[in-house]
Structure 1
Amino acid sequence: MRYKLKVILLTLIAKVFTKQMPGICSNGSQGNPIQCCRNYILDGKSCKECSPGTFGYNCTEDCPPQFYGRFCREKCSCCPCDKINGCLKMTNFVHWPTISISLAGSLAICFSFGVAIICILRKRKPNTPEGCVVSKTDENDLTASQDMYDCLAKESYNVLTLTTTDIEQL
């Protein structure tokens, strides 16, 4: 019983004085070199974690697209994505595809609107009633036919005035 107590006590003391280094998968005992775990790199006689933007054994891999940060575990919600810091605050960022699509759409709408107006104006019927042909008549001809009078009544012509006089007055 005393023997078991000594073993337990020695084990606890050994754990207190033996500092476990993070990232060490093999401590180099029996002449073997120290081996670092995944996402750690050997730095002297200890292992340190990979710099942000890298991961893997000996930190040899860069973050895949749309991932960044410590061990590349953070996901980006922007484009472009910086492998170390993620989304960068861009002050003068212009997204040309969006601008070109908006411009093309606006031009298409304006063109369609213009074509529609031209079609409406071409199909518009003239204001003169059908069958009415108004021509310049001799000012001395005082006889007006009923047809001409009807045509003039349908339209407003400011330049023509119709006056009737008796033939006997002449």
Structure 2
Amino acid sequence: MKRIYFILGIGLLTLIGCSNGPSLQKYFVSKQDNENFLSLDVPTSIVSLKEGASKENLETLKSIKKVNLLMFKLTQENRDVFEEEKSEVMAVLKNKNLIELMRANHEGTQLRVVYVGDEDTVDEFIVFAANDQEGFGLARVLGDRMEPHKIMALLNDFDRMDKENPIFSQIEGFMR
């Protein structure tokens, strides 16, 4: 009987400790069927680099398990919704468990990169890019023991991604 009380006590503490606040995962799930969004779950097994990519970038790509993409295309009709959604994402990105890696503004586009983990190994990267003329994109990069500096090097080698992949054409079609 003591064992049952112990297990119930641990379960109760776990429930109390869980945050009911906004989370990125909840946000992604809640927007999957929203007509303003394109939602894609991309296993990295279908993403490839073209010939000439560095061995390090090939290894880095292997540390990524999956990428969740959520894109909001701004139109005249959904401008108010865009502002609300952008504010909601910004609130989620202020989560104390997320560590900021980079923040930039370039030619009207805001960029934020945050992560979950420590400075040496990361389990999740979140990339948020917003432009008040086009919309925003949100990516969750899920992996196992990813290294921030190697992920940034991989992003810099984006030109070597195989853009013939159907994922890229689906994104391009949505953004038109």
Query: Could you say whether these structures have the same fold, taking a TM-score greater than 0.5 normalized by the shorter chain as the test?
Result: no
Higher CA-based Rg: 1
What's the TM-score, normalizing by structure 2? 0.22
What's the TM-score, normalizing by structure 1? 0.23
Q: Which has the higher strand share?
A: 2
Instruction: Tell me which of the two structures has the higher relative contact order, counting C-alpha pairs closer than 8 angstroms and 6 or more residues apart.
Output: 2
